Structure formats: structure tokens, C-alpha cells
């Protein structure tokens, strides 16, 4: 085979063979993917999903309709991509990175299975991300933008937003969370420059939020195409997921109106000349959205893994802020006295865990158990303990082994609440331990 410019080209550009939605942002990318997958499945569509990182199994990164890629298929595609990388290495091309290799595998898998749509989450940033080889997705999506991975993406929100906005494509509709004015300005400027129609979603689009434990959260989202309010119910206690659900709803609306993805859901080609037909279709689509949002499940996002034990993968300052807001609702006993709160925390060494700890200390945990994240990037539990003490937390235990720390948190829980956060790696390990014990 003659020399090709990249492994993707060598493999036949598999990502050109299926419809896709490209998603970037600091927090919420995986949740938006999960919401959209649920909506598509309710519409009778098959949906592929490429996300990162994984919690316990690498195959989680490549799913179709919520099912991981089979082990034998994973192995077969691994050797196919490795063969391409080795062949190109002989021509002087550098070997793909870990993330690039997995993304190439996902492209081959989806090209082989041909789901109706593939939801692709960026790995880091967007502009220079391996996934940005997608030439013309049906729509691009940018979730909330905040400070994270600053050593790679820049030290300010506008700089990071510029990298995220790099996934926008000329003429391709874009949906963006515009809660931060600086990020919104950068995204809007980029959309205008390249002629990408921009559908903004803000806090004003989310109304009537009511936490109805244990059944979930009731809220409404304003339609992006008319003035109607779409009534929704979401499982769990994660207030921040209303934002991600609103992004998914707006994206689904754009896919309905601007592409033919949902054409078969209505049984025939849409004829928009009749007002009655428009109203009937809107009502049916709203019911689809309600069903998709209600049935979405995405692990380690304020997940109640045991009664009053909440597990969240929050791993940066903005994620921790959102976790804390949700936890404060859970801790409110309704009688003015907050419930006992045991916090289990661990983070990796390249995160600003000082800022994370300051926000968590403001919840006034009854006890903090500082632990360490499995892997080479772990930071010392003693450093976390010192930081919590410096922020006014009086009772702190240091247990380096995450499994032992989790057991101690359950022992200390009594009739209170346990919250676990700081790292997706920690969340994945605790969830694995918990599932093994059930």
C-alpha cells in the first residue's frame, strides 16, 4: 500500500462513513453523550458513543446503545490499528498516542457496525484533539467551559474556550452552554467567523427546578425554536445535570429540525405547512425527550450507589462546585439542621486540589477521610488532610488505601450521608468495589 499521511487515512478514513455529533467542553461531555444516546434509543435509533476516560474497563470508551464493544471485537480491531501504525512507522510516521490509538479503534468499530449516529467526546481541548478530524458532523456541542488542564489549554477561561471552539465547522449548527460570559463571547466570535449557526443555552432556559427526592428532579427547558416549555423529569439528585440535559434537549431539537436523523420517528417526511401538524409533532417530540431524559443512566455523576451514599467523578474546581451544590440540597434535612456528612476525597497530582478542598470545606463535613487515587498520578493523602485542616475542618482521617477508606466511610456514616469525589479514577474504583460487594 502506498504511503498515507496518517493512520486514519491508511485505514480508509472510517470516520467518514457514519453520521456524528462532536462534543467538547470542560465538564458534562459524557453526560450529554449519555442523554443523547437515551433520546436516540427512545426514537428507535442506534447510537454509538466514544467517551473518555473509562471507569473500570477500557471498552467503556466504545459503546453502541449502551453496550461496550465485545472483547473479541476489541482485540481484532486493536491488531488492525496496530498493524497500520507499524506499517506507517516504517515510513517515518510517529506512533499514535494512547488516546489517538483508541480513537482510531473506535472509528473502525463504528464504521463496521454503522449505527445511525455516533456521539464523539473530545479527549482534551478540541482544536488540536484527535477527534477533530471529523470533517462534517451533524452538529457540534460545547458544554460548560472552566479552568482545567491549564498546562495544555491555557490559564484563562477565554483561552480554554478558544481551544474548545476549535471543533466548530463552517455551516454546521453548533449548540453551546453560554453560562460564562467570557467563554460565550469567544464561542460566539468563532461561530460568526466561520458561519456556524449557534444555538445558545443558558440558565434562563432552565426553569421550575424542583428536587423531588427520591424520584428525581423536575424541571423545564425552553425550546430553541418556539416559546414552549418542555417539562422533564430526571433521575437522581445532581442539580448540575439539568444543564447537561438542557444541552442534550437543544441538540436533539437541532438534529430534528436541521437534519433528517429523526425522520423515521415521525413515520413519514415532515410537512410543516399545517399548524396542527406542527403542534402534533412538537408534542410527540417532547414526549420523546421526556422519556429519553427520564431513562438516562450515567455512572459516577452524583450516583447513589447505596442509600445516602453519593459517588461523583468531579475532579476540577467547577465540577466540585456543582457537586457541592447538589450535596447541600441532599444534606438539608428540612428542619434547619443539616445531616451528618462524611466526605471521602482523593485527587490526582496535576489538579488544583487546593481550590477543590476550599469549596468542599464550606459544606462543613462532619468527617473527612483523605485517601489516594490508584495509579502513578496519585497525590499524598497527607497533603489533602493538611489542606482540609487549613480550611477549618476539625475531624480528619488519613487512609491511603481507597477500599479501606470507603469501608471506614460506611462505618462512620450512621444515619448521615457519605459523599465521594475528587477523581474519576477514585470514583471508578469505589464503584467497582461497591458492585463487587452487592
- CA dihedral in degrees (140, 155, 302, 239; nearest 10)? -70
Cell numbers at 365, concatenated: 463535613
* 2 belongs to a structural domain: no
The pTM of the full predicted model, rounded to 2 decimals, is 0.89
CATH number of 368's domain: 3.90.190.20
Give the Cα separation of 374 and 355 in Å (integer): 21
Average pLDDT (379-386) is 94
Could you check whether the bond before residue 98 is cis, i.e. omega within 30 degrees of 0? no
Task: From 196, 406, 244, select the one nearest 309 (Cα to Cα).
Answer: 406
Beta-bridge partners for 200 = 176
Which has more confidence, 72 or 378?
72
Beta-bridge partners for 174 = 140, 198
Contact 186, 162 (CB under 8 A): yes
**What pLDDT shows up at residue 1?**
34
Helix (H, G, I), strand (E, B) or coil at 90: coil
Are both 271 and 355 inside the same structural domain?
no
Last residue of a domain, one of 295, 319, 342: 295
pLDDT tens digit string along 319-371? Answer: 899 899 989 988 886 556 778 999 999 998 888 889 999 999 999 999 999 99
Percent of the chain with pLDDT over 90: 67
pLDDT tens digit string along 223-280? Answer: 999 889 999 999 888 888 999 999 999 999 999 999 889 988 876 545 554 667 777 8
Are both 322 and 289 inside the same structural domain?
no
**What pLDDT shows up at residue 352?**
84
Whether pLDDT at 4 is above 70 = no
Last residue of a domain, one of 278, 295, 312: 295
Are both 194 and 246 inside the same structural domain?
yes
* 1 belongs to a structural domain: no
Are both 318 and 373 inside the same structural domain?
yes
Are both 368 and 287 inside the same structural domain?
no
Q: How far is CA 283 from CA 37, 268, 278, 287, 296, in A?
A: 20, 16, 9, 6, 20
Are both 157 and 239 inside the same structural domain?
yes
Are both 238 and 308 inside the same structural domain?
no
* 220 belongs to a structural domain: yes
Last residue of a domain, one of 264, 295, 326: 295
Q: In the chain, what's the furthest Cα-to-Cα distance?
A: 73
User: What is the number of domains present in the chain?
Assistant: 2
User: Would you place residue 438 in the very low, low, confident or very high pLDDT band (cuts 50, 70, 90)?
Assistant: very low
Are both 176 and 239 inside the same structural domain?
yes
Residue with cell 433520546: 39
Are both 84 and 225 inside the same structural domain?
yes
Whether pLDDT at 212 is above 80 = no
Domain span including residue 332: 303-437
Are both 198 and 140 inside the same structural domain?
yes
* 282 belongs to a structural domain: yes
* 291 belongs to a structural domain: yes
What mean pLDDT value characterizes the chain? Answer: 90
CATH number of 151's domain: 3.40.1190.10
Are both 78 and 157 inside the same structural domain?
yes
Give the Cα separation of 231 and 46 in Å (integer): 25
Whether pLDDT at 71 is above 90 = yes
Are both 289 and 307 inside the same structural domain?
no
Amino acid at each position: 500500500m502506498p504511503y498515507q499521511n496518517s493512520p486514519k487515512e491508511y485505514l480508509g478514513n472510517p470516520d467518514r462513513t457514519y453520521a456524528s455529533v462532536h462534543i467538547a467542553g470542560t465538564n458534562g461531555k459524557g453526560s450529554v453523550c449519555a442523554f443523547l444516546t437515551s433520546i436516540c434509543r427512545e426514537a428507535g435509533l442506534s447510537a454509538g458513543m466514544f467517551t473518555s476516560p473509562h471507569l473500570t474497563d477500557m471498552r467503556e470508551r466504545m459503546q453502541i446503545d449502551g453496550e461496550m464493544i465485545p472483547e473479541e471485537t476489541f482485540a481484532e480491531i486493536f491488531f488492525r490499528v496496530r498493524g497500520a501504525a507499524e506499517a506507517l512507522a516504517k515510513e517515518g510516521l510517529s506512533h499514535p498516542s494512547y488516546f489517538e490509538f483508541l480513537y482510531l479503534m473506535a472509528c473502525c468499530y463504528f464504521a463496521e457496525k454503522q449505527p445511525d449516529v455516533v456521539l464523539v467526546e473530545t479527549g482534551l481541548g478540541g482544536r488540536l484533539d484527535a477527534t477533530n478530524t471529523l470533517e462534517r458532523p451533524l452538529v457540534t456541542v460545547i458544554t460548560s467551559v472552566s479552568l482545567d488542564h491549564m498546562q495544555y489549554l491555557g490559564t484563562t477561561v477565554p483561552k480554554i474556550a478558544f481551544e474548545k471552539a476549535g471543533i466548530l465547522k463552517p455551516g454546521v449548527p453548533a449548540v453551546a452552554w453560554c453560562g460564562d460570559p467570557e467563554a460565550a463571547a469567544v464561542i460566539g466570535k468563532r461561530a460568526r467567523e466561520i458561519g456556524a449557526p449557534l444555538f445558545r443555552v443558558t440558565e434562563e432556559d432552565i426553569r421550575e427546578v424542583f428536587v423531588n427526592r427520591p424520584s428525581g428532579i423536575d424541571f423545564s427547558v425552553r425550546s430553541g425554536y418556539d416559546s414552549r416549555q418542555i417539562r422533564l423529569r430526571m433521575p437522581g439528585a445532581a442539580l448540575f445535570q439539568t444543564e447537561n440535559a438542557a444541552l442534550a434537549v437543544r441538540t436533539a431539537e437541532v438534529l430534528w429540525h436541521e437534519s433528517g436523523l429523526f425522520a423515521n420517528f415521525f413515520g413519514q417526511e415532515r410537512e410543516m405547512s399545517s399548524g396542527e401538524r406542527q403542534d402534533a409533532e412538537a408534542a410527540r417530540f417532547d414526549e420523546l425527550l421526556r422519556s429519553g431524559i427520564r431513562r438516562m443512566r450515567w455512572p459516577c455523576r452524583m450516583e447513589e450507589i447505596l442509600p445516602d451514599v453519593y459517588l461523583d467523578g468531579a475532579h476540577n474546581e467547577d465540577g466540585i462546585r456543582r457537586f457541592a451544590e447538589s450535596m447541600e440540597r441532599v444534606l438539608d434535612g428540612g428542619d434547619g439542621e443539616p445531616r451528618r456528612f462524611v466526605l471521602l476525597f482523593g485527587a490526582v497530582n496535576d489538579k488544583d486540589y487546593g481550590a477543590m478542598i476550599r469549596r468542599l470545606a464550606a459544606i462543613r463535613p462532619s468527617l473527612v477521610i483523605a485517601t489516594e487515587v490508584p495509579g502513578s498520578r496519585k497525590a499524598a493523602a497527607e497533603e489533602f488532610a493538611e489542606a482540609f485542616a487549613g480550611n477549618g475542618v476539625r475531624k480528619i482521617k488519613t487512609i491511603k488505601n481507597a477500599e479501606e477508606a470507603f469501608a471506614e466511610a460506611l462505618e462512620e456514616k450512621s444515619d448521615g450521608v457519605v459523599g465521594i469525589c475528587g477523581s474519576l479514577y477514585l470514583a471508578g474504583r469505589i464503584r467497582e468495589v461497591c458492585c463487587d460487594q452487592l
